[in-house]
Amino acid sequence: MTDNRIMLVSYPRSGQHYTQRMIERAIGKDDYCPLYACSVPDCPGRGKPVPEKTPCPGGRRIQKHHDFDLGLRVEDEITYAVLIRYPLNSLMSYYEQEVNRHKRVPRWADDGKVSRVEDNEENWLHFLENRAAFWKEFATKWRALAERHDNVRIFRYEEMVWEDATFLDFFRFSFTEDLSEKAHELIAAQRKSMTQQGRTVNGRRAPFAYDEKRADARMRQIIAPDLLQAFGYE
């Protein structure tokens, strides 16, 4: 159990589940709150809207948050570990998740309303443009907060997975107790598992359905090069 509150803030498909698994292996599953899909029996927060479940009504100290409305505020008594991934890889994984879960993908109208449409390249590019714009806002917000607050730090997914020093830094930043020895064991086990699954640094096991170069070029038109460079993606 950890005695400090930790908020794992991430853009969707940026290593939240990977980090969750590592935390649960280190300290158990009894202190992690999934927030959006609570499956904890008798949790007083089940079925409530997100603002009423932050912090966790069940008392769990580690909580995920995607900050979809960009309204999450920084509080002094909470540690904020922010997970970022190269945006195109996040967007492709996000899109594939929508296809696999719903067989159709979201499309945003000018008034903000969302409908479900078929999976095709036109709708993929619409999804990319809409979600890349949100990535830009999300990254800009949390970069500024990390510069102003000592209890906010950004961790890149790529480094969390493949660089021991980054994941050890995450554990030291997030937890009051020293988990370094256990973290080394967890990193080795997780890396072996990912290698056996054939995952690469971008986390993919199969080619994407549509032209990645075209998508990357469009993404870079939306997300300014200086912002990508600020996160080490140039």
pLDDT single digits (tens) 78-105 = 999 999 999 999 999 999 999 999 999 9
Instruction: List, in order of start, the domains of the chain with CATH numbers.
Output: 5-230 (3.40.50.300)
Helix (H, G, I), strand (E, B) or coil at 84: strand
The region that residue 42 occupies, defined by phi over 0 for left and psi between -120 and 50 for alpha, beta otherwise, is left
Alpha-carbon distance of 201 to 144, in angstroms, equals 27
- Greater pLDDT, 45 or 196: 45
Is 50 exceeded by the pLDDT of residue 1?
no
The Cα–Cα gap between 108 and 42 comes to 35
pLDDT at res. 10:
96
At CA 53, angle to CA 52 and CA 56, rounded to 5? 140
**Quick one: pLDDT band at residue 168, thresholds 50, 70, 90?**
confident
Instruction: Please provide the average confidence, as pLDDT, over all residues in the chain.
Output: 88
Non-local (6+) Cβ contacts of 38 within 8 A are 45, 46, 53
Share in percent of the chain as helix, strand, coil (round to 5): 45, 15, 40
What does the pLDDT look like over 135-150, one tens digit per residue?
999 999 999 999 999 9
Q: Quick one: which of 50, 20, 48 has its CA closest to 32?
A: 20
Amino acid found at 65:
H
Top-confidence range, 28-37, 86-95, 202-211: 86-95
Token pair, residue 227, equals: 């912002």
